[in-house]
Amino acid sequence: MHSRLKMFVSLLVAETLLFGIPAQAQEKPHVVSFDELKKDAAGAAKTRQSDEEAVRTLFSSEQGQKALKSAHLEYGRVDKAVSQLNDEELVKLAERSRQAQADFAAGRLSNGAIIAIVVVIAATIILASIFYALSKD
């Protein structure tokens, strides 16, 4: 009986090697469809646009404008630098921007604290854009 089992397993392995995997196991596509890629790309672009908007909203607010003026930073320069951030940096700054706006709206931050946060975020954006420009050279 033991030899029959060995023979059966050997034949099964030989059949698999000679004829390949049965058709039922190959029915699933292994390649991502173009529509899925397009959908993922559109989702990433939408997320990036939303993150840029969150950062720009903080800088265009009254507190954001005051903070930029107190730090002697031009809104246009910071706005341009937002577009140059990589996705990872943008996500982090967008989260901080949204949190700062929510905290200020809920009264958890003073006007001075929000100005300090805006200055730090603006400085981070400008530094990141400078590093990006230097890395391109």
Task: Name the nearest CA neighbour of 57 among 92, 111, 93.
Answer: 93
Under 8 Å between Cβ of 90 and 132: no
For residues 22-26, average pLDDT: 52
pLDDT band with cut points at 50, 70 and 90 for residue 24: low
CA distances 105 to 88, 108, 114, Å, are 26, 8, 10
Per residue in 50-106, pLDDT tens? 999 999 999 898 888 888 888 888 888 888 889 888 899 999 999 999 998 898 888
Per residue in 95-137, pLDDT tens? 999 998 898 888 888 888 888 888 888 888 888 888 877 887 6
pLDDT reported for residue 41: 81
pLDDT band with cut points at 50, 70 and 90 for residue 33: confident
For residues 5-24, average pLDDT: 59
Task: Name the nearest CA neighbour of 118 among 83, 66, 47.
Answer: 66
pTM for this prediction:
0.66
pLDDT reported for residue 18: 56
**Greater model confidence, 113 or 34:** 113
pLDDT reported for residue 137: 66
